Structure 1
Amino acid sequence: MTVRITGLSSGMDVDAMVKTLMKAEQGKKDKLVQQQTSLQWKQEAYRDVSTSLVDFRQNKMSNYNLNSILTAKKADVTGNTSAVSVTSTDSTFKGNLSVTVNALAQAAVNVYDTKTPPAASTDPALGELFGGTYVPGVNASDAIKLTVNGKDFNFTKGDTISSVISKINADKSANATVMYAGGKLSVSNNNTGDFSSVQKNATLSVDGASQTATSTIAGSDAKYTVNGLAMTSSTNNVTVNGANMQLKSVSGSGGASVISSSVDTDKIVNAIKSFITDYNAILDQVNGKLKEAVYRKYQPLTQEEEDAMSDKQVELWESKAKSGLLSNDSTLSSMISSMRSMMVTGFDDGKGNKISLQSIGITTGQWTDYGKLVIGDEKKLREAIEANPDGVAKLFTATGADPKNPTSTDSGIFSKINTTVLTALQSLSTNAGTSVYSADKNSSFIVNSSVGEQLRSIAKKITDQDAYLKRKEDQYYAQFSAMETAMNKYSSQSMAFSNYS
């Protein structure tokens, strides 16, 4: 360890002189730290874009790419509108359906008589309705078992009927709904239909003794005809040719219900609008980074510079220093160029049928919009959907042989976007260590990347520079110490000669 003598003989401020000498040496380390900080900021900027691209591709595009969204159908019911309603349709629903309801599906219901409860009791105890003799306050704790649809429930005679019903109705395994009113207990199955004994019956027993129902409704299937074909169902919710229908009442003299299919233009237009909004948001973010101003005079602050500034000054300085870190980035520029190309390339089904965004009223706006999509003529878009719904859907969702080529005419826009964005994500991952699959803006960086290698190299140089600075500082102090020792020796000799004379 170097012994530091600080100007005892010379009277010089050795610490200040060493600090001044070290300042020139420190500049080399400061430049390395600035390079390190700039690279870290750049890596974080890449991650910010990358996570947005992952979210766009995995969470948004995956939904738009579902064929059912852009081939949505809706149904209109005419004729007997009280007998049948349509709850939803899918892309397979076409043509007209004539539906006549002959019988609705019915759940089994049994009603049982109970003992007459005390007149003043609005919520009688179970023992007052079943189970032999019941004396309130004496045998209220006696056990009593109800069995509903084969499911055992254990109670006491003092349990109120409301608490008993709540417990049974909450138990899914009993598959029953129990009600009580006016001395009668109703047990109904939760399923309709007549395909099993569970559906056909709604049974009740007390302490193993089966109860005799005073009135019974047997479980039965729905019976209906569609376009002359007789059909049955255990429920009143049925699906025929892609149309999900609810049978609401027997047709009777009201006649048939006629269900006709049509393109759900509103739903398709809204889906396209939603896609355009998400697509434009990505373009805004990436183009913003590519065209961000670069302020080369603003480098990351050294610790000394930062200490000399206020928090607001540091914030303003760093905003300038971080600006333009991804300016003209080749990976992002290539991705945007490909996406812009695919938006002006149409779809060709190989049979002479061609369609493009421009032909359905969607344009790329002004040049200052940098490729953002605009619905310039919504009426034209709606007319195109109604006239050629399959063609519009394929323009977006077709999966061709060459989705990597943005000008491919056999692949849909969604397929080409997904491929192009994935290529960009993979490139960003290789370069900056960002994740191809994570949308977490705090996710860790992959170690083996170009930026990661650069950061490791700079970190080693900083470590080496720290060691060098330590050696250099010790050297300066050693030199001043030697000077002080020599001056002290000379001073002693001078005093000796002076005394001798």
Structure 2
Amino acid sequence: MAIRVSGLASGMDIDSIVKQLMDAERLPLNKLKQKKQILEWKRDDYRSMNTLLTDFRTKVLNMKLSSSYGAKQTSSSNESYVTATASSSASTASYQLSNVTKLATSASLTTVNKLSASADSKISTSSSLLSMNSQFANAITWAEGSVETAKFTATGSTVELPLAEGTILLDRPISVKVAGKALKADEYTINNGIITFTNTPEANAAIEVNYVTDKKVEKISLAEGATSFTLSKKAIAENSLTINGQAVTIDANNTFTAGSLSGKIDFATGQVTLNNAVDAAAEITVSYKQKYTAMDVETTTSKGAMQETFLFSADQSMSNVISKINSSKLGVTMFYDANSDSLSVTRTETGSFEANDIQFGQSDLTKALQLDTARYQAGTDAEFTLNGITTTRSSNNFTIDGVTFDLKQTFSGAVNIGITSDTTAVYDNIKSFVDSYNTLISEITKKTGEERKRDYQPLSDEEREGLSEAQAEKWDNIAKAGWLRNDATLRSVLTSMRQSMSNTVSTATGTFKTLSSIGITTTANYLDGGKLEINETKLKQALEDDPESVQALFASAEGIASKLQANITEATDKLKAKAGNAFSTNATFTIGRDLSDVESRITRFEDKLLNIEDRYYAQFTAMEKAIQNANSQSSYLSSYFSS
């Protein structure tokens, strides 16, 4: 950059002069920026038109679906007894449902005895099982070990559990799930921590194994100055702790000494607090056991027999137990009512399956939850007569030939169910389609007919600075208009869509082969640009007289919907080639390539302007120096002659 001197010798405003000179030099740059702005406006206009066409294409595709014409309505002579809904596949028909002697019910287990030992101190579902153990009427006798979880992605017929060094896998209890389904004991084998599946899981299937080892072994790093550490497990079994291979004796106050370490352990949380800070960083190996319990559950569902083993460490709560049962694939819902101090387990499906189809295996947890003596109530099927045939269903909500019946209560006598075509719904679908078409026609006609006001060009930066925000916005709105006036692609799609709407459909069947034959015609006002209007009476009559023919008019192979789809696809492809979309790069569409070219020219011209500006300042600087030299010589001569 040239050294800039601002008229000290000449007295001229050099900056102002250079600015005026540069304003003239910048005129071609402003033209390039205007061209860029125009390209961006055209791109955005094309994209907005493409969005309108794409949205309308969704409406067109809906008109090809049989569900758009097959809407059915149902009626019931007594909705307090039976209601019904019908899908588009249902036939026009009538049904008589009578003598509902039974409703379908779910099998359930309900505890007979109270869960809590005392009515004054009931179980808290949010507290740990360990802390609540004394409040259960039947306390849990805890097993000891370490409950672990391993997750895999299936790559073959085996997986190997990550057993820590020095630990032993307890073969039972164990829970193995593949793709969320618990496997039965005969569906896998275990040998030295390797699980082999009887049937190889599908590739990449999620596998989860919950298992128990004889103890937990973990290495813990102690930083210099550390005063505590926390074991990864909670609910630690007393007198199971070893540190660096040495058994740790713990007194009644839970204090211990192990070599140079001494302190206190909280068995419930696994928190170990040291009496003295560690002198130097060290790594210790800690071995211990945690308290846990297990429970086996078997159920029968519409998918067959299900069974799962659940493992619960003693630090988990009754809420955890309920949540695990309910989120499993056993198809049951467990519920505890604190007011009655009772527990219920209800099958989520209704109907009669196998006898005793909810079973809890014998365990301490089963006894604590009083489920070993719970009362079983078998599920029942709904029993009724339909059109003279006495039959049963496992659910009160069932579907026959596209009609879904919902039994509300038992009754004698009869309820009549009628299935008829829903002419109003089909009419509304067609009207919505026509309204969308008219909106599209209006928007495209408006855009291609916008007047281009040539006196309004994109504002330069200097021009925009001279206007208020409102004035600049008003100018921009006028300047943006008209860039797609008489656009060939948009006018072409208008013409092709009008033809598709007005031509005879060769693949139509029955009475109706044109839109006008069902009461849909072009408006009389040519300024509407080909909008459609509906004769409601004529269209509804056509739907009553020959609904299949109306459907064929729109949805057959060469129907109106197929033709419109082809028209729109051709237009959107052309518009995308011109203007791309929000995910397109400039190199992939015409306007984008033009934009990249203009942007490159702008960058080169801006570099050129910097050089020109530097040259002007260099010239004026040289002039200033020359004047300064002349002034110095003049002063010298004046002083010489005066002396």
- TM bucket (normalised to shorter chain) is 0.7 to 0.9
1:73 match: 72
TM-aligned CA deviation for residue 387 of structure 1? 0.9
Aligned length: 468
Question: Is 2:590 the counterpart of 1:419?
Answer: no
Q: In structure 1, how many angstroms separate the alpha carbons of the residues matched to 2:510 and 2:336? A: 66
Which residues in structure 2 correspond to 1:364-379 (within 5 Å)? 364-365=522-523, 366-375=525-534, 377-379=535-537
TM-score of the pair, normalised by structure 1: 0.77
Mapped contact 1:193–1:221 kept (Cα < 8 A): yes
Question: Is 2:590 the counterpart of 1:450?
Answer: yes
Aligned AA (2:567): T
Question: Is 2:12 the counterpart of 1:12?
Answer: yes
Mapped contact 1:168–1:176 kept (Cα < 8 A): no
TM-aligned CA deviation for residue 326 of structure 1? 2.1
Question: Is 2:249 the counterpart of 1:91?
Answer: no
TM-aligned CA deviation for residue 83 of structure 1? 5.3
Which residues in structure 2 correspond to 1:385-404 (within 5 Å)? 385-398=543-556, 400=557
Residues 1:3 and 1:85: Cα distance change in structure 2 (over 3 Å): closer
Question: Is 2:479 the counterpart of 1:318?
Answer: no
Mapped contact 1:144–1:155 kept (Cα < 8 A): yes
2:578 match: 431
TM-aligned CA deviation for residue 384 of structure 1? 1.0
Aligned AA (2:72): K
Aligned AA (2:138): G
TM-aligned CA deviation for residue 195 of structure 1? 3.7
Residues 1:481 and 1:183: Cα distance change in structure 2 (over 3 Å): closer
The structure 2 residue matched to 1:234, chosen from 357, 377, 394, is 394
Aligned AA (2:533): V
Residues 1:349 and 1:47: Cα distance change in structure 2 (over 3 Å): closer
TM-score of the pair, normalised by structure 2: 0.62
TM-aligned CA deviation for residue 219 of structure 1? 2.6
TM-aligned CA deviation for residue 185 of structure 1? 6.2
Question: Is 2:617 the counterpart of 1:480?
Answer: no
Q: In structure 2, how many angstroms separate the alpha carbons of the residues matched to 1:239 and 1:165? A: 36
Q: What percentage of aligned pairs have identical amino acids?
A: 34
TM-aligned CA deviation for residue 231 of structure 1? 5.0
Aligned AA (1:27): L
Aligned AA (2:53): L
Residues 118-156 of structure 1, C-alpha deviations (whole Å, 9 max, x = no match): 9987978898895389xxxxxxx9999988766769799
Which residues in structure 2 correspond to 1:43-442 (within 5 Å)? 43-58=43-58, 60-77=59-76, 84-100=82-98, 103-114=102-113, 130-131=137-138, 171=327, 173=329, 175-176=332-333, 178=335, 187-196=345-354, 200-201=357-358, 207=364, 208=366, 211-212=372-373, 217-223=377-383, 226-227=386-387, 232-249=392-409, 252=412, 254-255=413-414, 257-349=415-507, 353-365=511-523, 366-375=525-534, 377-398=535-556, 400=557, 410-413=558-561, 415-434=562-581
Question: Aligned-pair RMSD on alpha carbons?
Answer: 4.1
Q: In structure 2, how many angstroms separate the alpha carbons of the residues matched to 1:116 and 1:343? A: 73
Aligned AA (2:493): M
Q: In structure 1, how many angstroms separate the alpha carbons of the residues matched to 2:622 and 2:447? A: 57
Residues 1:485 and 1:71: Cα distance change in structure 2 (over 3 Å): same
Aligned AA (1:67): S
Mapped contact 1:291–1:328 kept (Cα < 8 A): yes
Q: In structure 1, how many angstroms separate the alpha carbons of the residues matched to 2:115 and 2:481? A: 84
Long gaps (5+) in structure 1 = 134-140, 401-409, 436-442
Mapped contact 1:276–1:373 kept (Cα < 8 A): yes
Aligned AA (2:54): V
Aligned AA (1:53): L
TM-aligned CA deviation for residue 99 of structure 1? 4.4
Aligned AA (2:89): S
Aligned AA (1:470): L
- SS in structure 1 opposite 2:48? helix
TM-aligned CA deviation for residue 66 of structure 1? 2.6
